[in-house]
Structure 1
Amino acid sequence: MATTTSAFHRKIEVVSPTRQRVMGILFILLGLALVFFFTPGLSQGQVTTFGLSLATSDIQLPPWQVHTLPTLYGLAVVSAILGGIQLARGFGRYTNWVLGLVVGFFIFGFLVWAAAGKSLNLVGMLNTTLSRSVPITLGALSGILCERSGVVNIAIEGMMLTGAMVSALVGSITQNAWIGLLAAIFAGALLALIHAVLSIKYKTNQIVSGTVINIFATGLTSYISAKFLQVNQALNNPPTFGGTPIPLLSEVPILGPVLFNNSIFVYVMFVLLIVLNIALFQTRWGLRLRAVGEHPKAADTLGIDVFKTRYMAVILGGMVAGFAGGYFTLGSAGRFDEVMTAGRGFIGLAAMIFGNWNPFGAFGAGLLFGFADALASRLAILGVAIPSQFLLMAPYIATMIVLAGVIGRARPPAADGIPYEKE
């Protein structure tokens, strides 16, 4: 067991010369892109204004103004310098951190260019980014629970959609948001149990099983919506969870309104991130779960019940997916519409892969997807002539870059998707 533990925690900190050169060139190219793509057409003395307070905040901070051209040139020079250092000697194990910094420079430069001569509320954008990342992050956490145990679950979309419909229906009938939320969690767990039985007991192809559940959920929820919810609006009018400010913390400038004045879904998401990360990597339960996903035969030899562990992980993942579905109706729209999850479950799987099957990595990927979504709407308001479809493509392109190994090798659990045959 000690050998297995050390294998799980082993980290490779050596950066190959090829990757060092690729990253250095990438840093320089991002710096050059800031100059060649964003500076043409800008005039000297042009100013970009960023709002630092929400209109509803009690404390109003003065806007932050930056000179557009000098800021873009400065970001480009720093990015190029970091690229030169990377080419010369590299940053070792901190390479990915530097990459994140340079990408952050590029994104900030893009915002400076997009809002040149105008105003963009940064706090409002951060708030929108966080709220839109919630279902994606929860979907990713659901996938991590399942795939860390060795079961592929692409049925997260169907579980979320069913949870959204059930929460709206039960919440409307009972006029109690908490009961509606519990019903959503139960619905997700029920579909997860079906997926677990098909995948673990009957060893059905897990992709096929997940696809069937997605199709079933789409058809069932659309039928119930058209037959009942749209006909009788009283069945589609659940109470919702409003914002719950945390005393004192919600009054902190900038971060307070973003992090500490949200609905229960945001707070539970943060709690799940911390609890799941600790449970997976610092407890015996997590070690056994990961052992089942990596080497089920070895885990079985050591007395770990592989089937029981996988059942538990898949059902827990389904509960998280059902909770995520409740966000759409009880935490956002206040009603159910057909196919309202709009692929967020699949995006959650992409975030899971982006985050390398790690809770906080998945959260970072969820923020990236949420940021792209929020940015598309903001740029439409600013009148920037970039089709929103291109912005929505950006996170998927980034995911493909991750899978290609630019940031690092994204390696799924070794037994992921492989049914276990007990000897």
Structure 2
Amino acid sequence: MDFALTTEQELIVESTRRFVEDECMPHEPEVERQDAVPAELQRQIRAKAIENGFYAANMPEALGGGGLDTLTLTLMERELGKTNFALQALVHRPSNILRACTDAQAEHYLYPVIRGERMECVAMTEPNAGSDLRGMETTAVRDGDDWVINGTKHFISHADLADFTVLFAATGAEETPRGKRKKITTFLVDHDTPGMEVRPGYNSPCHRGYHNSILNFDDCRVPNSRVLGEIDQGFEVANTWLAPARLTVAIQSVGRAQRALALAADWAANRKQFGQPVGRFQGTSFKIADMATEIEAAEMLCLRAAWRHDQGTMTDTDAAMAKLYATEALGRVADHAVQIFGGMGLVDETPVERLWRDARLERIWDGTSEIQRHVISRAILRDYEQ
């Protein structure tokens, strides 16, 4: 692994950093107060992202995307992670799962998303299933050339902005040595389809302006042509295309941690107590040292996983380790930053309060810390099983 950045990578990092500082950060207080990104600001940031070549940067050039390799994209995601999530999410990187579209599906779904004309959301999580995808209760039953969908999904990110949903639903069951297991199929469901309802989700203190939704399906009928991938092979579709999502969460957590450290270090160097900067006290300076060390370790795990992904050798364990360590490190770094700021770390006049509040979610979505530990330990123990 070569740790030196290419000239192109350095330019992308620098241009992304400027974009975040100029186009996103100035609007953070407004978005935090309103818990929304005004429509005109959405259009403005999206247009700037397209103009600068950031939009759909994860998609191959042959499909009309930016064509960035995973390592370069990871460096870009790190910079985007430093600002309010609702703002940076407008620099849309479409779900890789859309690359499973057939030619006919691509014309209606994939290409318009890459061009910024449409937006998708991915719906897996359910009220009674959580991380247990095999326990999902949403069903799709074949009826001639259609599928009839019934059930509920929740905690679906940016469904309020999306035009269609990539939906996972149970389409049967099969016998296995461990008993019956549900078969899962993936569908493309337009939001104007009769029988589908997008409802406001739950209030959350994290990522203000970026909302979750509840999706209800009541005899929602979609044609067989909207099956994404093969029937009953939804897990294969997910495993093929969704693995990089955990890496995205990990490296954006690194970006947030870097911003928290910068804010804390500046405060420690300039805030005076007892006649000297608080950074001269070991209780503060040692926190700074621990924060910097954890961030470096987290970033190395992310960059190694990204590099391996480009080589075609990244494993689920690589992504799980990066996601586990980076998100938990962010929690510790953000907490240290609050402690260094003291009371000012808990008021909304500084970004530290937001970084601390937002950090809590990262250990939950795209697979909880417990799920990541399960993935890692299972891979290790497998080599020792008789």
TM (norm. structure 2) is 0.29
Which structure: greater helix fraction?
Answer: 1
Which structure: greater strand fraction?
Answer: 2
TM (norm. structure 1) is 0.27
